[in-house]
Amino acid sequence: MPQKGGLAVPILALALGHVLSNAVRTLPALAADRMQASLGLSPEGLAAVTGTFSLAFALALVPVGVGLDRLGARRTALILLAVAGLGAVLAALAPGAGTMLLAQAVLGAGCAGMLMAPMTYAARAVPPSRFGLWSGIILTFGNTGMLLSGSPLAWLVDWQGWRAGYWAMAGFALLALLAVALVVRQPPPARRDRTSLWQDAREVLAIAASPALRPLMVFGAASFATIIGLRGLWGGPWLMEAKGLTRIEAGHILTACALAMTLAPVFCGWVERRLGRPTLMLAGSHLAVAGLILALLAGRGLPPGWDAAIFVLIGLLVSVQPVAFGQARAAVPPERAGRALSALNIAFFAGAAALQPISGLAASRGGVGAALASLAVALIASGTGFLLLRRRA
């Protein structure tokens, strides 16, 4: 049951972690050139190093799902915020590529439950019919982290360098930790069984492989991977290299894209309730965004306004995750909500961990445009595979 005082305050306090997660994983988009020079990395090397965030994130989701169902959202979030803050400090102090690799792994592990904690809190506090609305609110609030890593970050990097961005993230992690400690009081869920940690971990993987979640896992493989690849790494280099924009100008366009991503989740939840066609929304989103990325590449010689419009449209159409989370939540009983939501999140970030090095390899062979094209190919494959598995189900 929710704590006295309503849902909004504790859920938003927990969602501060998701704000942090979004900001820290999209930070390299506007600092890539400075980070490469400082750490001695090629574009391919930077993609591999920052891709460690997504790999660690995906690996940590199994114990995070178990922790949410055993310890509850509050205690799990407090642990993860402390780990993420440590990772941000390591990144700010990193003297070379090896330390930054470690920092990205610590950050990824710490951020692994930042979305799942408020989601799990809401899943246990509201009926399934209202969960889609709350998941949209959580994602909308959390996506403001990408606003922080847009124009504000571009200004900070120009003024104080890329390390200042990670120091700012460490400070934000501390503020979020204090907020959760002060306002979240939901007790851990009652244990109805005495399964071992290993059995709980196996159940997360079993849910991920179940027929009910299998199509969603295929959908998720390219979902966040595209957001991270476009908004978190290659969007800035495309605007600065292909279009000749300054860091601040590129930051304005990426901020507009982030604003669209911030507003879209609640709108998507509303559309899904009115339309009642979740499969159409999920597959259509992937295929439409793939087309927009190809249109972006085709308009290389057009004015930057073309790119700005494409980025905003992508931000609006790519943010359909509340629909997927609602489908995953409906597939399991409330006491298994943490496991199911974490299982879907494994697909999101395992896909990102796999696709980011692939996009880096494409960039080393054909430039930033080739990296973006690899994201479009992944979206087409994911959307098609999702439709085929849904049809079989």
pLDDT of residue 338: 66
SS3 31: coil
Question: CA 122, 127, 129 angle in degrees (round to 5)?
Answer: 105
Q: Residue 274 burial (CB < 10 Å; 0-12/13-18/19+)?
A: exposed
pLDDT of residue 91: 92
Question: CA 285, 290, 294 angle in degrees (round to 5)?
Answer: 145
Q: Length of the chain, please?
A: 393
pLDDT of residue 33: 80
pLDDT of residue 370: 94
Splitting the chain (393 residues) into consecutive groups of 10 residues, what average pLDDT does each group show? 64 92 82 84 81 84 80 91 96 91 94 87 77 78 78 82 91 95 78 63 78 88 85 84 88 86 77 80 93 94 92 89 80 72 81 84 89 94 92 74
Q: Which amino acid is at 299?
A: G
pLDDT of residue 34: 86
pLDDT of residue 49: 85
pLDDT of residue 179: 95
Q: In the chain, what are the helix, strand and coil shares in percent, each to the nearest 5?
A: 85, 0, 15
Cα–Cα distances in angstroms (integers) from residue 26 to residues 31, 85, 146, in the given order: 10, 16, 7
pLDDT of residue 5: 46
**Which are the contacts of 108, defined by CB distance < 8 A and separation ≥ 6?**
52, 53, 54, 55, 56, 57, 60, 87, 349
Compute how many other C-beta atoms are within 10 angstroms of the C-beta atom of residue 320.
28
